[in-house]
Amino acid sequence: MMLIRPQRQPSFLPIALFVTFCISSRVCLGEIEGGDADVDVLDYSRGKIRAHRFPSVASRIKLYMSNWYTPPCQDDNDGFFRYSYIDDDDNRWPKLEVTGLKDHPLVNQTTRIMNGIQSKVEPDMLFFMDEKTIMNCANYSYDEEWGEKIKDPYMKRIEFRHNMRMYCEDIQDLLLPAWYHLEFEKNLLHNNNNNEEVTTTVGPPPPPTLIQFGDNKQSHIYKDVMVPHIKKFPTNINVEIQRTALNSAHGNYRFQPIVWKLATDRHYKKLNDVYRYDTQWSHKKDMAVFRGQLTGSRDGYDKLLSDEENCHNLKRCRLVYNHGNSTLIHARLTSTRGRMPDVLNGVELVGGKVKIDTLLEYKGIIMIEGNDVASGLKWALLSQSIVLMPIPKHTSWCMEELLEPWVHYVPLDDFATNVEERMQWVVDHDEEAQRISERATLWMEDLVFHPDAAEDDRLIQEEILRRYQHHFLPADKQ
């Protein structure tokens, strides 16, 4: 079956992508053309054309939106979310209430009434976007003393400013422009119909944009969030229940957040270093390297257990401990975060931090997830080294769940106990291994550097917001 890339519209209206697409009335948004089968028909043996080896715009929208892909239809009034702003005491920062109107087979209606949502930016907390707060948070040159001096009201609305900035930047750079563009498009359509002048509007259109930053799967206060909201990764990334696109909000699945490209700084910034420092496959050492810090209690650390038991239970620690003398594996922790001695039973657990150029000297790069997607995974895939990792349990904008073992990486068992055997395979199958590393490089190229990549992102992000918007009752019907 031939796969035809959707026709690009040079203009700002990507309408040709959509079979049914209606922006003015509250009808269902249609299926996106060619979206369904794409992921299945990817043929990895024919990797020359991007569409044959990388998911299409249409299938990525489904993947990222999961339950929220299909908004309710016009005649399904109960399917919408209702929202209202409630003025707070000082009248300055309203709070938001959001209610899902329909019962869900797995979710009690009461848990879908969410009160007191704020527009304050803090980690692991659902909030609704306030544009000025986001801009303030994203300001790289923001000087807190200066903020105090001029009594900047936005200053106190951002907690852990240092950690939140990279998220705010992504909202400022990727989400706000998409909202503006949709608004522009809407006005243009509206005004064309009425033969009126194009009016300009200020600020993103309603409904409220719900977002959560940080690594936590749940939200403080709200726990599992049952309303559409934007996040770095889905809540429940179980490899067996992969994100199934097109489960509508009323299917038998737990609600998932909408995945957005967030924390770009941490996850994508090193990509440029790879181009700068990488060396050819043939110049790399026949060994695999691991560097990473010990991750947290969510991964099994228990302060009541002995160091040895803890090390055994923690994937990264066990990998390092078991390969102290290996001639194939060079694994060290960069930090034990005070949870483990630097040397355990004579085995050195901690090695100094090393720069990316040192890691790139090895043919194999071992990735072990911590609380989240392994943050180095993106540069490791892009590099000319080969990634060895357990099947990923976390996924993000990079679509880790679509990476195929033996195609994009060499799979390890969950605790990486077979890492020596697999590295030996790499050594014994040099050419095959190099092909795998090339396929991984292509994945990252296709995602980030391909000439179509930026436009794909833009189309995806705009369509995500278009669909997001249609889950909420319009303001005049609230």
Residue ranges binding ligand NAG (CB under 6 A): 106, 108, 135, 139, 141-143, 146, 324-325
Q: How far is the CB of 325 from ligand NAG (least distance, A)?
A: 4
Residue closer to ligand NAG by CB (options 280, 325) is 325
The CB-of-121 to ligand NAG minimum distance in angstroms stands at 14
Among 295, 415, 440, 417, CA closest to 363: 440
Half-sphere CA count of 269, side-chain side, radius 13 A: 7
Q: How far is the CB of 327 from ligand NAG (least distance, A)?
A: 11
Residue number, 223 or 337, with CB nearest to ligand NAG: 223
As beta bridge partners, residue 353 has none
Q: Give min distance, CB of 352 to ligand NAG, in A.
A: 20
| CA angle, residues 245, 250, 251, in degrees to nearest 5 | 55
Minimum CB separation from ligand NAG for residue 345, in Å?
8
**DSSP helix, strand, coil percent of the chain (3-state; round to 5):** 35, 15, 50
Nearer to ligand NAG, 28 or 107 (CB): 107
Nearer to ligand NAG (CB atom), residue 165 or residue 466? 165
28-51 core/surface letters (b: 16 or more CB in 10 A; e: else): bbebbebbeebbeebeeeebeebb
Q: Closer CB to ligand NAG, residue 94 or residue 324?
A: 324
Distance CA 385, CA 436 (A): 9
Kindly tell me which of 131 and 286 has the beta carbon lying closer to ligand NAG: 131
Instruction: Extract long-range pairs of 150-158: CB within 8 Å, 24+ residues apart.
Output: 153/92, 157/93, 157/119, 157/120, 157/121, 157/130, 157/133, 158/120, 158/121, 158/122, 158/133
Q: Is 310 left (phi over 0), alpha (psi -120 to 50) or beta?
A: alpha
**Cβ at position 343, least distance to ligand NAG in Å:** 12
Q: What are the two backbone dihedrals, phi and then psi, of residue 257, each rounded to the nearest 5 degrees?
A: -70, 165
Q: Residue 22 or residue 106: which is nearer to ligand NAG going by CB?
A: 106
Considering beta carbons, is residue 47 or 351 the nearer one to ligand NAG? 351
In terms of DSSP H, where are the helices of 12-171?
A: 38-41, 50-53, 57-65, 131-138, 144-149, 161-170
Between 100 and 392, whose beta carbon lies closer to ligand NAG? 100
**Nearest residue (CB) to ligand NAG, 30 versus 203:** 203
3-state SS class at 435: helix
Shortest gap between Cβ of 260 and ligand NAG (angstroms)? 22
**C-alpha count within 13 angstroms, C-beta hemisphere, residue 22:** 11
**Closest distance of CB 152 from ligand NAG, Å:** 8
Distances (CA, A) of 470 to 82, 182, 397: 11, 13, 22
| Closest C-alpha to 366, from 356, 353, 358, 376 | 376
At 108, list the tokens.
Answer: 């009690």
CB 254 to ligand NAG: min, Å:
10
In the complex, least distance from residue 226 CB atom to ligand NAG, rounded to whole angstroms: 11
